[in-house]
Structure 1
């Protein structure tokens, strides 16, 4: 379940991009959970047509996933299929990160790939032909001339680059049907790992295309009037995953439009994975040194194809020679020696292998993320409560058991009276958990303190969502206040006062946008990583 301010931020983003009516439908799903069309109509009090259009738009932009379940029939009636809709909170929040995603694509592949990628960000889902049409319209390509074939080749090449980099993927099925099973009669269904698997989680798994076809491109559409008509040419895959057999996918595995063209969308997982790696490298560089950051970056680069899960806890084992060779590929790592790389791996927490055994190393990514999360919260405590509170909080964050007030005071060298005051303040603000134990005869209470990490992390994340929402609202306010200044056309002669105000508005906007992007890095640390 999303946090209160996380829902408010998501609703604000939907309102900004799609309008009040669509945001009303989205807010209903975010607050009440998975609903049928009839339930959404009843709760929002909107017309069926308005709700249907809003849901279709949200599905188009990957903010809602539909799925079908079997609803038990009434007395003497057959079971009926029922379509349910669930809001995808994380996907909505990802809209705030589109500039970061664009920057990654632009840095790696340049302007032409960025144009294709930008179209998918704007429209949510597009077929190959729609991507082609959009490119030709923007560049004013004459489809009756030789320019058309040249443009097709450019689009073909750049599209394949994006797929091979896993920046884009086939869309999930529109409405997967969840087969009833024996476990459905039970209150909960458990996954292989023992965790509770909700109906929504099952729906997402059912909707996702198989890994073997997720990044498979087939020439099933004519790129131009001169495209070949031979059936074999149409089925020939333009790209395929290395090591997997060529396979014709089932028609309902992935989403298609009314023309049965395959639809494509941005692969959020790949960008979150890259941003996660960037966060880890930045953290170890700051905490340890730049060489350790270079070595960790080399490990992430070497394991890019092997890491299939965004939240993988450990990297796959790599030999020292492989890590060293990858580090040497970067300009910063060319001067490194084998011994320096080995020392950096030890700094990252890797134990030296026994002599005679293959020297392989694996990095505990989850531990690095946990350290970065703790450091982020500690910085909040330091700024808000002061250095003594920071020492107390850090002590409690390193211990998992309850600690009494006297021990906290003695360990942190803070007077008991001051320590008690700080502890009560942190407890009042939900940073700490407190327990009282005492003797009724002596009427003396001993206070025990502990940091409840899970509850605290949720509280901190909600505060960050709140701050992000305030920044977004401030951006809207500043834009509204400066609307008359921003409408001044370029090339029009205006006074110095107008130019000065225009520059002030631009500078203020840049500061707010920059602050929002930095804050979003912290949000991803607690939510996406």
Structure 2
């Protein structure tokens, strides 16, 4: 469940991009969950035509997913199929990360790919024809054929994917317990209707990144794919000529009918890998960072989900080969790589008499989260509180007050004061241990709250991001007249206002970018 300030931040993003009316519909879905058109009309008091237009805008920009579900409409009445709409929180917040996504595309591919991706990020869903025409109108380097090749590169790197199914039918999973082989009942993980809808709407891996224009390049389809692509019904007798379809016609279908969108999941995976490598470089050194970067770069397309706990297993020969392809990797010997793997706490296993190595990514993320939480405590409560929090975070278990005072070398009186402050603000968990005789004061045990602390920190971060965004919008609105004036028409006072505005917005936007790195760390990684 998304924190309260996270929802408010998402609504602010929609307001700034699409206006108050669209934001009102989106806010209703974010706060109330999946709703039908009639439910949205009842809660927002808007006309159905207005709501439909707002939903079309949100769907076009990947902020809402529609799905169909069967519901009982009344006692003794046959169930009816209703269309429901759900807001996609992550996709909404990703709108603030377009600059980061474009930088990744430019870094890993080229400027043409960056230009093509920019169109998808700002317009949501486009056909290949629309993407190329827009890029050419923006004077992106290259002709139509070169731009089409760049688009193929984006798809092959999984930065672009086919759009999900517009309105999949969802059957809710039964809420029951399953029985294991030995007869012991274990509670089944019940997926929500929204999770089922997203799964049903997502095409298969092959379909998501399949380009019909690949036929032109000499990659023929197999029989099953041809049936699917050219809509030949199952069981229908196919004529020989039906499979001999003109290649140019097929490419035209691809460009004019199939909708594409940016694959946010792949960009988040890249950002997660970058965060892991940066954390390892700062803690363990350049060599360990290079080894981790090589491993993640090799296996990124094999990962099944963004939040993988461990990297994919690789042999030592493969790791060494990939390391030497990286900048500065040629100077690393086999012993250097082995030492780096040891530093990374590499998990190794034996399979078919060959050593395979895997790195715990979740542990790296947890270390980075602890570092971020410690820096927050340092800024908010001071250095002594930071030392106490760091001790408890590393210990991971309950610690008594006197022991904390002794280990941090802080006066007991000050230690108690700091501990109560952190406990009051939900950073610590406290337990009382009563011993006999009853007249003796109870012992107080303390520990870091863990998962609930991450949720608290994340909500505070969303609050800060919202405040920064609102302040930026306020500053721009206050000086909109100065912004509209051409530079040669500004007098001395107006030029000073413009310079002040530029400096203020630069500080605010830089702070928001740094804060977004922390938001990704706690929410997406």
TM-score (norm 2): 0.87
Query: How big is the shift at 1:495?
Result: 4.2
Specify whether residues 59 and 95 from structure 1 end up closer, same or farther in structure 2 by C-alpha distance, changes over 3 A only: same
Deviation by residue 1:337-356 (Cα, 9 ceiling, x = unmatched): 121111111111126779x9
2:36 corresponds in structure 1 to: 36
Aligned residues: 493
Measure the CA separation in 2 of the matches of 1:157 and 1:353: 41
2:150 corresponds in structure 1 to: 158
Q: Secondary structure at the match of 1:359?
A: strand
Measure the CA separation in 2 of the matches of 1:283 and 1:524: 14
State which drifts further: 287-296 or 477-486. 477-486
Q: Secondary structure at the match of 1:59?
A: helix
Contact 1:217-1:240 at 8 Å conserved across structures: no
Query: How big is the shift at 1:416?
Result: 1.8
- Do structure 1's residue 172 and structure 2's residue 164 form an aligned pair? yes
- Do structure 1's residue 428 and structure 2's residue 428 form an aligned pair? no
- Do structure 1's residue 287 and structure 2's residue 283 form an aligned pair? yes
Deviation by residue 1:60-118 (Cα, 9 ceiling, x = unmatched): 11111111110124344321101111111111111111110011112233332222111
1:205 corresponds in structure 2 to: 199
Specify whether residues 388 and 197 from structure 1 end up closer, same or farther in structure 2 by C-alpha distance, changes over 3 A only: same
State which drifts further: 36-45 or 73-82. 73-82
2:319 corresponds in structure 1 to: 323
Contact 2:177-2:187 at 8 Å conserved across structures: no
Map 1:270-281 to 2 at 5 A. Answer: 270-281=266-277
1:14 corresponds in structure 2 to: 14
- Do structure 1's residue 450 and structure 2's residue 450 form an aligned pair? no
1:402 corresponds in structure 2 to: 398
2:212 corresponds in structure 1 to: 218
Measure the CA separation in 1 of the matches of 2:167 and 2:96: 26
Unmatched 5+ stretches in structure 1: 142-149, 220-234, 252-256
1:344 corresponds in structure 2 to: 340
Whose helix fraction is larger, Structure 1's or Structure 2's?
2
Measure the CA separation in 2 of the matches of 1:290 and 1:193: 45
1:70 corresponds in structure 2 to: 70
Specify whether residues 41 and 241 from structure 1 end up closer, same or farther in structure 2 by C-alpha distance, changes over 3 A only: farther
2:484 corresponds in structure 1 to: 487
2:115 corresponds in structure 1 to: 115
Measure the CA separation in 2 of the matches of 1:212 and 1:502: 51
TM-score (norm 1): 0.87
Query: How big is the shift at 1:303?
Result: 1.0
Deviation by residue 1:398-447 (Cα, 9 ceiling, x = unmatched): 23432222222222222221111111000111101122233583262222
2:236 corresponds in structure 1 to: none
Specify whether residues 244 and 97 from structure 1 end up closer, same or farther in structure 2 by C-alpha distance, changes over 3 A only: farther
Query: How big is the shift at 1:484?
Result: 2.4
Specify whether residues 510 and 240 from structure 1 end up closer, same or farther in structure 2 by C-alpha distance, changes over 3 A only: farther
Specify whether residues 526 and 60 from structure 1 end up closer, same or farther in structure 2 by C-alpha distance, changes over 3 A only: same
Task: Please point out which of 467, 475, 478 is paired with 1:478.
Answer: 475
Measure the CA separation in 1 of the matches of 2:494 and 2:379: 38
- Do structure 1's residue 461 and structure 2's residue 440 form an aligned pair? no
2:383 corresponds in structure 1 to: 387
Deviation by residue 1:39-73 (Cα, 9 ceiling, x = unmatched): 11111111111111111111111111111110124
1:314 corresponds in structure 2 to: 310
State which drifts further: 285-294 or 235-244. 235-244
RMSD of aligned residue pairs (Cα, Å): 2.9
Task: Please point out which of 349, 352, 368 is paired with 2:364.
Answer: 368
State which drifts further: 159-168 or 432-441. 432-441
Deviation by residue 1:244-276 (Cα, 9 ceiling, x = unmatched): 98555477xxxxx9x981111000010000000
Measure the CA separation in 1 of the matches of 2:37 and 2:177: 24
1:298 corresponds in structure 2 to: 294
Task: Please point out which of 266, 269, 276 is paired with 2:265.
Answer: 269
Unmatched 5+ stretches in structure 2: 179-185, 232-252
Contact 1:215-1:241 at 8 Å conserved across structures: no
Measure the CA separation in 2 of the matches of 1:304 and 1:352: 19
Measure the CA separation in 2 of the matches of 1:398 and 1:244: 58
Query: How big is the shift at 1:514?
Result: 1.4
Task: Please point out which of 195, 198, 205 is paired with 2:189.
Answer: 195
Q: Secondary structure at the match of 1:86?
A: strand
- Do structure 1's residue 134 and structure 2's residue 113 form an aligned pair? no
1:413 corresponds in structure 2 to: 409
2:215 corresponds in structure 1 to: 236
Contact 1:392-1:412 at 8 Å conserved across structures: yes
Specify whether residues 368 and 140 from structure 1 end up closer, same or farther in structure 2 by C-alpha distance, changes over 3 A only: closer
